[in-house]
């Protein structure tokens, strides 16, 4: 398999693992989907994607302006990012046990955008992992991530609408899979970052 394809699928898997755990955006999407409001559910998800694209723009600016020529700085940020991914995996496990609560807020693009943009998790993730992802997987990985996020947004909306009352158990199962994937990516990013520190 060509390297670019491998990087695309790696980015796609990472995107899915980050999007899947129960959180405020998923809670709104699930509530809207179960109510039959697919449009509002998807708009909320796409709003969150737009916020990720905003943080990506800052990560790219930092990578081009400084980090591209400073491998050890990327390594330090990457180690922080690896720890964050493992911590997110732990959070996904806790969320799986707690389930997902119904949201009282109506879904919208604006709600999804502002929720993700102001989330300290989004800020920390892109600060710590954005440059490392660009260095390791290039734009193929970035494109893979956003394609997966778009497909996930549409698929989860209709899947949650279909499962209806069983939505909580469905999301719990997804959260367990996500936790395992996040742990794997945390270990991988930690190894790559450690190698960069030793250059």
Local structure of 199: helix, strand or coil? coil
Cβ neighbors of 1 (< 8 A, separation 6 or more) are: none
Burial class (CB in 10 A: 0-12, 13-18, 19+), 68: middle
Over the chain (199 residues), the average pLDDT of each successive run of 10 is 80 86 79 86 94 89 71 80 80 67 76 87 81 86 94 89 68 75 84 82
pLDDT at 168: 63
Burial class (CB in 10 A: 0-12, 13-18, 19+), 15: buried
Cα 146 from chain centroid? 9
Full residue range of the structural domain in which residue 150 is found:
3-197
Write 91-94 long-range contacts (CB < 8 A, 24+): 91/21, 92/20, 92/21, 92/22, 92/175, 92/176, 92/178, 92/179, 92/182, 93/175, 93/176, 93/179
Task: To the nearest 10°, report the CA torsion of 126, 18, 45, 143.
Answer: 60
Q: DSSP secondary-structure letter at 47? A: H
Residue from 111, 23, 127, 10 nearest 78 by CA: 127
pLDDT at 43: 95
The total domain count for the chain is 1
Q: Which two structure tokens, joined as six digits, stand for 183?
A: 């742990």
pLDDT at 9: 93
């Amino acid at each position: 398999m060509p390297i670019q394809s491998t990087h695309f699928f790696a980015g796609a898997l990472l995107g899915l693992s980050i999007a899947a755990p129960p959180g405020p955006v998923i809670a709104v999407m699930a509530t809207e989907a179960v109510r039959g409001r697919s449009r509002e559910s998807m708009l909320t998800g796409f709003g969150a994607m737009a916020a990720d694209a905003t943080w990506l723009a800052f990560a790219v600016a930092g990578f081009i302006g400084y980090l591209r020529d400073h491998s050890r700085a990327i390594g330090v940020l990457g180690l922080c990012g690896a720890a964050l991914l493992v911590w997110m995996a732990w959070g996904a496990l806790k969320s799986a046990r707690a389930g997902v609560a119904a949201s009282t807020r109506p879904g919208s693009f604006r709600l999804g955008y502002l929720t993700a943009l102001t989330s300290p998790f989004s800020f920390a993730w892109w600060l710590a992992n954005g440059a490392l992802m660009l260095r390791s997987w290039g734009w193929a990985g970035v494109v893979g991530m956003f394609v997966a996020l778009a497909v996930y947004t549409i698929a989860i909306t209709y899947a949650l609408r279909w499962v209806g009352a069983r939505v909580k158990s469905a999301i719990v199962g997804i959260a367990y899979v996500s936790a395992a994937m996040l742990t794997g990516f945390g270990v991988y990013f930690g190894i790559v970052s450690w190698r960069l520190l030793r250059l």
